[in-house]
Amino acid sequence: MTLGIPTWLSDEERGRNLGLFEGGLCIRDIAKKIKRSRDAVVRALTGGRRDRRKPGRKPVVSERLARLLLRKASGDYSAAQLKIE
């Protein structure tokens, strides 16, 4: 492994991380044992960014309402007519 270029954890390493963690080892000890950074171990255990909530304000228009508006707006309606419906 070279500095600055990350190498991804294999599925085997992720499984080993999970097994060691469930076996009672702390994250620092797991990182030393598999020779990876603590951050890499934490990301492997928590799932990375995909499982996190998105930051920022919640959308005012729900996905359902956005679909309905797009369906209505595809016709020949003005904004005032859409507001009435």
Alpha carbon distance 51, 4 (integer Å): 25
- pTM for the full model? 0.51
Alpha carbon distance 45, 76 (integer Å): 52
Question: What does residue 17 show for φ and ψ, rounded to 5 degrees?
Answer: -60, -50
Q: What would the DSSP string read from start to end of 11-77?
A: HHHHHHHHHHHHTT--HHHHHHHHT--HHHHHHHHHTTTTTSPPPSPPPSS-HHHHHHHHHHHTSS-
pLDDT tens string, the chain, 85 residues long: the values are 556 666 778 888 888 888 999 999 999 999 999 888 898 898 888 876 666 677 888 888 888 988 888 887 787 777 777 676 6
